[in-house]
Amino acid sequence: MKTKLATLIVTFITAAAFGHGGVELGPNGGRILEFSKNESMHGEVTVKGDKFHIAVLDKDMKQVAMKEQTLTATSGDRDKPVKLEVTKDDKGFLVPLVKVGEWLIVQFKETPKSKAITARLEFNTAKCSECKNPEWLCTCKSEEGKK
């Protein structure tokens, strides 16, 4: 019994410490996703109405002109992923919102011949008790990050 209780306590402490890691937010208050291996290209995800807007930013977090870039998006169950319709405008990409608690998985290509970079985010809209932001935009640092 004591072993089970100790295991349960350690599990809760670990979950609390690593539950959210303080995501990086961009210039428009959206979540930053890495679109390159060397941090030279980013995506900033914001919600506008019933869509995600994904702006493409350079290493200095400045808007990139939309030219040859492409983005594919999926969500849903891992066994039956659903491809989402992606549209492009002069400011970035528009993707339908996924269900709360589901993952948005995007694959970005800077040019048609570039290798795709995959980025993910869990669309968790529960409010963080510390920063009061939705968890997918939580700016709090985990206990490990505070040390």
Per-residue pLDDT of 28-55, as tens digits, reads 999 999 999 999 999 999 999 999 999 9
Per-residue pLDDT of 48-93, as tens digits, reads 999 999 999 999 999 999 999 999 999 988 888 999 999 999 999 9
Taking the domain 22-146, which CATH number applies? 2.60.40
- For the chain, the domains span 22-146
Query: What's the token pair of residue 120?
Result: 């993910």
Are the C-beta atoms of residues 94 and 84 closer than 8 Å to each other?
Answer: no
